[in-house]
Amino acid sequence: MTRPTPPAARREPKSITQLGRTRVDDYAWMKDENWKDVLRDPKVLRADIREHLDAENAYTKALLDDPTKPLQDALFAEMKGRIKEDDSSVPASDGAWDYYVRYEIGAEHPVHGRRPRGRTDGEVVLLDEEALSKGKAFFQVGAAHHSPDHRLYAWAADEQGSEYYTIRLKDLATGETLPVEIESAYGDFTFSPDSQWLFWIWRDENARPSKVFRRPARGGEDTLVYEETDDGMFLGVGTTSDDSHIVVHVGNQETTEIWLIPAADPTRPPFVAEPRRVGVKYELDHWTDRWIIRTNDDGALDFKLATSTAEIPAKSTWTDLVPHQPGHYVTGFSAYAGHLVRLERVNANDRIVVMARSGGEHEIIFDEEACALSLSGGYEYDTPVTRFIYQSPTTPRQWFDYDMASRERTLRKTQEIPSGHDPARYVARRLMAKAADGAEVPVTVLMLKDTPLDGSAPLLLYGYGAYGHAMEPSFSIRNLSLVDRGWIWATAHVRGGSDKGWGWFLDGRKEKKPNSFTDFIACAEHLSANGYGKAGRMVAYGGSAGGMLMGAIANLRPDLWAGVIAAVPFVDVLNTMSDTTLPLTPPEWPEWGNPLEDAAAYDTIASYSPYDQVSALPYPPVLATGGLSDPRVTYWEPQKWVAKLRQFSTSDAPILLKINMEAGHGGASGRFDFLKEIALDYAFAIWAMDKGWEQA
């Protein structure tokens, strides 16, 4: 059989001079200068670019379909078989109603519903996503809320994958959708506690959230509430737990500023709680008669909780409530009338701490070697019950209602696996790999109990390592399809995430970004040294900023990998961080550095940017994926990277590109359609591990 020929990408050298440094980009032509219009209407994509993307998709299909299509179908069927098709959430009570979402058999999208509190009949359908999605290639709902008086239901829908949302409202008395649409919205909004106003965020022509507006909930003129002039800031809106204030959140990865509006006077201009100071993050909530502030101020590297009784909770009024404790990363908190609940992470595992208003606190912990806990906030403030979710790589999700006074746990739901799941068949372990500088990097491993540890088992190593996002040791119906085939699934908790605290994040950003890459390689070598894998029998997998990780480790150690899967990979770092028109460029300078103004930042980024560092190396098989409407990692990043890899690779391993022409950053929007994309990734991993490409 003759292997299909990959598309030949033309080279048009473009010279770029910046801060006295010059680079040449042969594939800059792949970026459609009309990209803003493409986000909203992909049909306007330049013809030559579309032709090349179509050719790339055809090449990937031609190379993978014959050897892996039956495997893809089997993987998809397995993953779908682990999903309870008529699943529903645990109802969340609010006043006279219980609110929930549920799925019907075969549906890609859920129904949002409510019924009288404590009953199982009398459903009122609030939103039928499945019905609204019919005939649309992409449909995704962002925020969806009922008004506090239970008379309206509002939702934000993205029908392109571009993350430009349209907000619509439904009158729950008549069942009619109001003749009001809010266009070019961010996927976040909130009702005022009196239900009379809707606060929403406008997304500008550069796809950035830049203004907060207020409008009458049933329609009317918009009033500007807040305008952010710094392109590097994100915006959010919400209300405090006790419904005393409306909150406008302004921030990026390292700096926060919060503006407040008293709920009793929702048309009043907002006032700032504590003015922004670079490097200081804070979030706050109102606890009946005082403010609770989570912050890293005053050197609280792993954050602390402070309190204030002032009307305006400025820094000068803060006093410590839960002092900073190094190694105990306070990741969040929830306020209830009689209790304060906080979530902490200690050495990559979670625990919940409950503090009574009357004094004293206690912990909720589980004893698995690697597990994850999360708070699942409800609607009600004056309640003794909080809800949390427990899971581990071997244990499906469990939803518990927890009485904070009596400490009684009530299991409300266990994730059902229709095709069956026996946790006793598996083992999850927490290993520690030593990085080059001596740092101990956690690795979470999932495998069958009888998997041999002699290096013969195929290994998939997953990583992310950016923005302070931790890779929780969670349960995945998807990973089991590889593990059940004798694979070992390992997650590397590299620096750049907050798995070991906020300092773990700071040690993997800006000038320290290379730590993320060397940590990942250290994890691969530790796993190999201990029989979990070996060079050439490992597949590396990561997406978005984790795709940058994939590009970097492919450049640094191509010999380690049987294959590399890079989903929506952020690989053209230097060009993207130098283009101020792109949605995420100014907001992400705190993460990567600003190569337009800072020569050291330019040199650091240039030293690791996967696209810029591609060179004459024996690259392993690579699968890169993307979405045409993606505003976060634009389609041309993986397109350019694949072209350059093919140009320079000294091996004959295939370099593949798959672009979803009808989706954005998250891929396909349906719960089953998305699994088809995962099945392709996993089939590629197996094909690459078995060197199926050598027979093509």
So what's the pLDDT on residue 397? 97
So what's the pLDDT on residue 692? 85
Integer Cα distance of 390 and 369 in angstroms: 13
Polymer length in residues for the chain: 696
Alpha helices in 477-513 (DSSP H): 480-483, 502-506
Q: Assess whether pLDDT exceeds 90 at residue 455.
A: yes
Of residues 570, 571, 602, 583, the one with CA closest to residue 17:
602
Q: Assess whether pLDDT exceeds 90 at residue 377.
A: no
φ and ψ at residue 122, rounded to 5 degrees: 80, 35
What is the Rg, in whole angstroms, of the alpha carbon atoms belonging to the chain?
25
Range 521-530 average pLDDT: 98
Amino acid of residue 552? A
Range 182-189 average pLDDT: 95
The two structure tokens encoding residue 632: 């976060």
How much is the mean pLDDT over the chain? 96
Q: Assess whether pLDDT exceeds 80 at residue 666.
A: no
Q: What is the DSSP string of 539-585?
A: EEEEETHHHHHHHHHHHH-GGGEEEEEEES----HHHHTT-TTSTTH
Amino acid of residue 177? T
Choose from 155-164, 345-354, 522-531 the range with maximum mean pLDDT.
522-531
Catalytically active residues are: 544, 630, 665
Question: What's the 3-state SS for 415-432?
Answer: CCCCCCCCHHHEEEEEEE
The two structure tokens encoding residue 623: 């699968």
Q: Name the residue with tokens 């680079």.
A: 23
So what's the pLDDT on residue 667? 66
Range 654-680 average pLDDT: 87
So what's the pLDDT on residue 301? 97
Range 307-323 average pLDDT: 98
**482-487 — which CB contacts under 8 Å span 24+ positions?**
482/682, 482/685, 482/686, 483/426, 483/446, 483/447, 483/448, 484/78, 484/448, 485/686, 486/448, 486/451, 486/457, 486/458, 487/447, 487/457, 487/458, 487/459, 487/460
Task: Identify whether the C-beta of residue 477 lies closer than 8 Å to the C-beta of residue 483.
Answer: no
Q: Assess whether pLDDT exceeds 80 at residue 664.
A: no
pLDDT category at 369 given cuts 50, 70, 90 is confident
DSSP-derived 3-state class of residue 510: helix
Amino acid of residue 448? L
Digit-coded pLDDT (tens) for 37-60: 998 889 999 999 999 999 999 999
pLDDT category at 696 given cuts 50, 70, 90 is low
pLDDT category at 348 given cuts 50, 70, 90 is confident
Of residues 463, 497, 467, the one with CA closest to residue 591:
467
Task: Identify whether the C-beta of residue 388 lies closer than 8 Å to the C-beta of residue 365.
Answer: no
Range 56-78 average pLDDT: 96
The two structure tokens encoding residue 580: 């101020």
For the chain, the distance separating the N- and C-terminal CA atoms, rounded to the nearest angstrom, is: 6
Comparing 14 with 661, which gets the higher pLDDT?
Answer: 14
Digit-coded pLDDT (tens) for 106-138: 999 999 999 999 999 999 999 999 999 999 989
User: 352: which residues sit within 8 A by CB, 6+ positions away?
Assistant: 341, 342, 343, 344, 363, 364, 365, 373, 375, 388
So what's the pLDDT on residue 366? 86
Predicted TM-score of the model (pTM): 0.94
- Residue 176 DSSP one-character state: P
Integer Cα distance of 133 and 139 in angstroms: 6
Q: Assess whether pLDDT exceeds 70 at residue 1.
A: no
Digit-coded pLDDT (tens) for 236-288: 999 999 999 999 999 998 999 999 999 999 999 999 999 999 999 999 999 99
So what's the pLDDT on residue 2? 79
- By mean pLDDT, which of 134-138, 189-193, 264-268, 461-465 is the weakest? 134-138
Integer Cα distance of 672 and 56 in angstroms: 24
Task: Identify whether the C-beta of residue 643 lies closer than 8 Å to the C-beta of residue 610.
Answer: no
Digit-coded pLDDT (tens) for 667-677: 667 899 889 99
Range 599-621 average pLDDT: 98
Burial (CB < 10 A; 0-12, 13-18, 19+), residue 433, is buried
Integer Cα distance of 25 and 11 in angstroms: 9
Range 375-392 average pLDDT: 95
Q: Which is it for strands 459-463 and 488-492: parallel, antiparallel or unpaired? A: parallel
Task: Identify whether the C-beta of residue 167 lies closer than 8 Å to the C-beta of residue 189.
Answer: yes
Range 416-423 average pLDDT: 97
